[in-house]
């Protein structure tokens, strides 16, 4: 497709942002499945899945139904966002030019980039704790022993540098190597999880099924009706995937066909989430038998077993799982987003290098400083205001533009270009964002809106879409 572009502006174009020809797209349903597998299989993802069965007072079938509803809903959202990128081979920041303007697209790209870089650094630190656990098992000591520098001792620093360096090597090798790692990590984590579930079952013996039944009957002390608890589970799962939904085009652009994308989304979202949650449920029930209480934190589970072989296997699994979600949610997005800010100077590799350097600083300061200063409100605010952008982009592409895109205009600064709007900015889109964004910001800072749970992102997107459509039609 790149040969279809004519007279592209260097300030809007580089080879990484350019449309990928269909002949060069190598991804199929398996690669898309592994995008979602890696997104689910993090330490937080496991804890979340296990907690859903013991925190809301619902029976197991209701929890599974809620998980499936959320999975199908997220699948619908990403199918909408992924379709234009499959059709034209363009990443999220370029797709944003259609509705926001060739210059205005820098705004959502910058916001998404900042959020992703922050969490990239944080997840790099979290992944390093898995490697540190292995090093402590092999060489002795603990995270609290020895001299400290910025809240971490020598082995913790070694683990952090190993994880950071491993990710640098991957991104420097390019998207093909990242894809290979994701394709390895997804199945590998599942295999280890199944082995862990089997070992727990053997250890728990005949007591596991009765405990499983107890959890399945419903536990927890959630305030509100069962209907409210059901939708709270749905909302929680939707919120978990919200960060990847808006920039899903960064992945779908590599897929050979829309059919392959939808197939990968189907197996990777509702079915994958339900199966992973089932494994988490079995393991959690087993911990209640073996340890006398339900343990939803995987690292605590491994520490209690105190087995070197299990620690080695678990550390590798935690490492692969956390690096996998870091690449999917926090590395590829800012690499493209930064490239979009100055395409003539920043390509995917340079964007990845900037992300890695900033991530190193954030991860290195995580224990001593960043986790202590209450910066989460700022980052969560930035993440929330991306919801109206999603709604605006979807409403513009499907309802206003009728799924028609002029590729040449996306890379042109010609004032008569379709996406140049007013000096490169679509002020109608910015107006819709400003209005809908007020709600999104309030969801972070106004306690009364906490009851909306994960649906605040959906409401923000719906508001953005509705307000934009009304403004354009008038």
CATH code where residue 96 lies: 1.10.4160.10
The model's pTM: 0.88
For 196, the domain range is: 32-473
How far, in Å, CA of 317 to CA of 192, rounded?
7
Residue 49 lies in a domain: yes
Q: How far apart are CA 206 and CA 95, in angstroms?
A: 55
Tokens (6 digits) for 369: 């400083």
Residue 149 phi/psi, 5-degree rounding, is -130, 115
Task: Spell out the per-residue pLDDT of the chain, length 474, in tens.
Answer: 444 566 778 888 998 899 999 989 999 999 999 999 988 887 778 788 878 877 777 777 888 899 999 999 999 999 999 999 999 999 999 999 999 999 999 999 998 998 889 889 988 998 888 888 888 888 876 667 666 788 888 898 999 999 999 999 988 888 888 989 999 988 888 888 888 888 888 888 888 888 777 766 655 555 666 787 888 888 888 888 888 899 999 999 999 999 999 999 999 999 999 888 888 888 888 888 887 777 777 777 777 776 777 778 888 888 888 888 888 888 989 999 999 998 988 988 899 999 999 999 998 988 778 777 766 666 777 778 889 999 999 999 999 999 999 999 999 988 888 999 999 999 999 999 999 989 888 887 888 777 676 688 888 999 999 999 999 988
Whether 249 is in a domain gets the answer yes
40, 53, 222 from 50: Cα distances, Å: 12, 6, 15
How far is 320 from 225, CA to CA, in rounded Å? 39
Element (H, E) at 157: helix 154-173
Specify the residue for token string 């090093």.
135
On whether residue 128 sits in a domain, the answer given is yes
- Answer yes or no: is 23 within a domain: no
What's the rounded Cα separation, in Å, for the pair 425 and 107? 10
Q: Phi then psi for 385, rounded to 5 degrees? A: -75, -5
Domain count within the chain: 1
Please state, as a whole number, how many other Cβ atoms lie within 10 Å of the Cβ of residue 262: 20
Determine how many CB atoms are found less than 10 A away from the CB of residue 300.
12
Contact predicate 64/277, CB 8 Å? yes
Domain-located, residue 6: no
């Amino acid at each position: 497709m790149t040969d279809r572009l004519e007279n592209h502006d260097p300030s809007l174009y580089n080879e990484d942002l350019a449309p990928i020809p269909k002949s060069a797209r190598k991804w199929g349903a398996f690669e898309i499945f592994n995008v979602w597998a890696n997104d689910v299989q993090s330490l937080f993802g496991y804890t979340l899945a296990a907690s859903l069965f013991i925190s809301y007072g619902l029976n197991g079938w209701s929890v599974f139904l809620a998980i499936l509803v959320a999975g199908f809903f997220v699948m619908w959202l990403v199918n909408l966002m992924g379709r234009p990128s499959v059709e034209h081979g363009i990443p999220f920041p370029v797709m944003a030019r259609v509705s926001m303007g060739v210059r205005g697209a820098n705004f959502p790209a910058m916001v998404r980039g900042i959020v992703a870089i922050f969490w990239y650094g944080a997840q790099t630190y979290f992944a390093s704790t898995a490697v540190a656990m292995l090093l402590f098992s092999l060489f002795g000591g603990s995270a609290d022993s020895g001299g400290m520098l910025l809240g971490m001792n020598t082995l913790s620093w070694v683990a952090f540098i190993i994880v950071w360096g491993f990710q640098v090597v991957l991104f420097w090798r390019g998207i093909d190597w990242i894809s290979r790692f994701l394709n390895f990590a997804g199945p590998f984590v599942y295999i280890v999880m199944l082995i862990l579930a089997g070992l727990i079952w053997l250890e728990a013996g005949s007591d596991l099924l009765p405990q499983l039944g107890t959890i399945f009957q419903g536990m927890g002390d959630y305030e509100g009706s069962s209907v409210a608890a059901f939708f709270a589970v749905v909302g929680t799962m939707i919120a978990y995937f919200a960060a990847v939904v808006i920039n899903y085009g960064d992945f779908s652009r590599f897929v050979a066909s829309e059919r392959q994308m939808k197939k990968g989304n189907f197996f990777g979202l509702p079915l994958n989430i339900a199966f992973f949650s089932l494994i988490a449920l079995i393991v959690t029930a087993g911990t209640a038998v073996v340890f006398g209480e339900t343990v939803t934190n995987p690292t605590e589970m491994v520490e209690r077993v105190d087995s070197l072989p299990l620690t080695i296997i678990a550390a590798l699994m935690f490492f692969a799982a956390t690096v996998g979600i870091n690449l999917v949610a926090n590395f590829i997005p800012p690499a493209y987003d930064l490239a979009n800010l100055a395409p003539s100077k920043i390509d995917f590799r340079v964007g990845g290098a900037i992300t890695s350097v900033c991530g190193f600083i954030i991860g290195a300061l995580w224990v001593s400083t960043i986790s202590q200063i209450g910066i989460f409100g700022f980052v969560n605010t930035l993440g929330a205001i991306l919801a109206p952008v999603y709604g605006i982009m979807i409403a513009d592409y499907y309802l206003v533009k009728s799924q028609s895109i002029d590729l040449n205009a996306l890379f042109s600064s010609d004032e008569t270009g379709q996406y140049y709007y007013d000096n490169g900015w679509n002020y109608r889109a910015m107006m819709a964002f400003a209005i809908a964004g007020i709600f999104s910001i309030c969801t972070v800072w106004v306690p009364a809106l906490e009851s909306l749970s994960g649906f605040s992102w959906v409401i923000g997107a719906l508001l953005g879409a509705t307000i934009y459509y009304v403004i354009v039609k008038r």
